[in-house]
């Protein structure tokens, strides 16, 4: 019999007010019921935000080192339970175990970074025009933070949102992705065991259309941190009033291959970065813009590597690419591939589908206006396109609606810097793909890829407000 889970609100594990639940299913085996979770509605959200508001009044007064200590202890528990949590993630999200363990390790690293940054939360002296005036600008927590998290990194991305909020002195309402709620519930329990007092973290499970919408409409929330699609991000921005927000949205990230690039390096890195987590990564290489003089050789190198990737049940030995989060997503992605081929693209390898598993796909020269070139496929598929030079490749990227990260492969320093200056993206990786991401670095996009930054130092700054304090001192005192 499937285990029933509950929301965590006001220091208690409670069912949804409606009594309704939804099923959490293994994406590789839809007959494997992981658990049943509360289908929260506006009543649950109202209670969660109220509890967070009451908790904030107490938590903000707790010294920063003590708040940071909670995050450190949680990181220690993550380390002890790494294997267990990795297996849980493989079952719930469909990542192969090595990738799931990598996600847990990234969560451990993020917690350690947050611990350090949480202890360094301080202000600066502020300039004042008169000599008897002395000013300082301190950082104060914003209040209630709503964290709306995605399915594709169900532990580390949640930590990137919850940990800085806690370290900064805020109270949090967490709404996990409907497809991966168990990872968030497990993390909440770990934070409570680490000493987080009741009332400072609430967990409300449910679909975005109801649970998420009620959270966005609540004006008591003062900061929204969201990772997901551009369409949902726009809805959050339009409906969240004047609350601050950080939106990490979609992309169809590209990497540029110059004529002088190390093609073996390109092939090795793209084989990893285009197909890890079944391509369900915002920075995943979706477009590879290669100079016409090297594209044939690069096609051969990539075709051999991509065709060798084994796709299937992530629990099976030797599988490198697992399923998409749902069969409908695999069907959609295959439809995009079929559309591109019907319009003239060449399927170099892959394109077949087995239920939720899409065989790793490499396309050659799809039409510029095809969906795989203009939208986010979020699947293990890479489009390889010939360009006449660096300027053309940069123009292709800049003309698109997204701007998260890009990669540039070249042996020439001038070329690298020229591209880095001209590309309208949040991050440029030289001799690496768009998919590189270190947890401590500032991470965010431009255009429809969102705004605001993840990364411990930057998120904590965003989740606090500056407050100016000016002393009027007596002369000669």
Please identify every residue annotated as catalytic.
248, 282
d(CA 317, CA 247): 37
> Is 460 exposed, middle or buried, given 0-12, 13-18 or 19+ CB atoms closer than 10 A?
buried
CA-CA distance, 351 to 334, in Å (whole number)? 6
Any idea what the Cα angle at residue 27 is, between residues 318 and 288, rounded to 5°?
65
Place of tokens 């190390």: 262
Cβ neighbours for 61, distance < 8 A, ≥ 6 positions apart: none
Residues 6 or more apart whose CB falls under 8 angstroms from that of 217 comprise 239
> Which tokens in the block code for residue 43?
């009543």
Determine phi and psi for 316, rounding to 5 degrees: -80, 140
**Sheet-wide strand order for 254-257:** 346-349, 361-364, 381-387, 287-291, 254-257, 405-409, 427-430
Q: Which of 82, 6, 76, 91 is CA-nearest to residue 44?
A: 6
Closest listed residue to residue 94, CA positions, set 284, 322, 326, 316:
322
Assigned token pair, 154: 């169900």
Which residue carries 């489009």 as its tokens?
383
Given a contact cutoff of 8 angstroms between Cβ atoms, the answer to whether 298 and 263 are in contact is: yes
In angstroms, how far is CA 288 from the centroid of its own chain? Answer: 22
Q: Is 288 helix (H, G, I), strand (E, B) or coil?
A: strand
Please, are residues 4 and 23 in contact by the beta-carbon 8 Å criterion?
A: no
The rounded distance, in Å, linking the Cα atoms of 193 and 190 is: 5
Which of 91, 86, 31 has its CA nearest to residue 314?
Answer: 91
Residue 363 contacts residue 333 (beta carbons within 8 Å): no
d(CA 222, CA 233): 16
Rounded to whole angstroms, how far apart are CA atoms 235 and 229?
Answer: 10
Cα–Cα dist 264/291, whole Å: 15
């Amino acid at each position: 019999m499937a285990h029933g889970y509950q929301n965590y609100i006001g220091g208690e594990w409670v069912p949804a007010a409606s009594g309704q639940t939804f099923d959490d299913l293994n994406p590789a085996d839809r007959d494997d019921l992981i658990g049943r979770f509360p289908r929260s509605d506006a009543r649950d959200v109202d209670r969660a935000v109220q509890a967070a508001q009451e908790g904030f009044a107490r938590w903000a007064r707790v010294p920063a080192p003590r708040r940071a200590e909670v995050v450190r202890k949680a990181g220690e528990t993550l380390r002890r339970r790494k294997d267990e949590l990795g297996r849980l993630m493989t079952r719930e999200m469909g990542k192969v175990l090595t990738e799931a363990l990598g996600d847990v390790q990234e969560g451990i690293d993020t917690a350690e970074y947050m611990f350090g940054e949480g202890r360094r939360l301080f202000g600066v002296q502020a300039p004042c025009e008169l000599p008897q005036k002395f000013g300082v600008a301190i950082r104060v927590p914003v209040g209630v933070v709503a964290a709306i998290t995605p399915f594709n990194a169900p532990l580390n991305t949640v930590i990137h949102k919850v940990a800085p909020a806690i370290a900064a002195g805020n109270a949090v309402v967490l709404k996990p992705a409907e497809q991966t709620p168990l990872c968030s519930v497990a993390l909440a329990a770990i934070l409570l065991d680490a000493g987080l007092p009741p009332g400072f973290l609430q967990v409300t499970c449910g679909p975005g259309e109801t649970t998420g919408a009620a959270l966005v409409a609540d004006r008591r929330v003062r900061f929204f941190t969201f990772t997901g699609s551009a369409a949902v991000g726009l809805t959050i921005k339009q409906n969240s009033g004047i609350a601050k927000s950080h939106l990490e949205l979609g992309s169809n990230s590209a990497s540029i291959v110059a004529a002088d690039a190390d093609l073996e390096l390109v092939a090795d890195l793209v084989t990893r970065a285009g197909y890890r987590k079944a391509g369900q990564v915002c920075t995943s290489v979706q477009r590879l813009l290669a100079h016409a003089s090297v594209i044939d050789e690069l096609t051969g190198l990539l075709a051999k590597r991509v065709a060798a990737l084994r796709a299937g049940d992530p629990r099976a030995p030797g599988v490198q690419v697992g399923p998409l989060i749902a069969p409908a997503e695999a069907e959609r992605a295959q439809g995009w591939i079929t559309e591109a081929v019907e319009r003239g693209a060449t399927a170099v390898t892959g394109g077949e589908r087995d239920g939720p598993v899409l065989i790793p796909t490499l396309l050659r020269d799809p039409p510029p206006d095809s969906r795989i070139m203009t939208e986010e496929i979020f699947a293990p598929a890479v489009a390889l396109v010939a360009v006449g030079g660096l300027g053309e490749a940069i123009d292709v990227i800049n003309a698109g609606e997204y701007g998260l990260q890009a990669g540039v492969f070249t042996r020439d320093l001038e070329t690298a810097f020229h591209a880095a200056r001209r590309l309208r993206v949040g991050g440029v990786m030289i001799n690496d793909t768009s998919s590189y991401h270190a947890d401590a670095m500032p991470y965010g996009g431009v255009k429809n890829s969102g705004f605001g930054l993840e990364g411990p130092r930057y998120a904590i700054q965003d989740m606090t407000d500056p407050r100016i304090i000016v002393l009027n001192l007596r002369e000669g005192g």
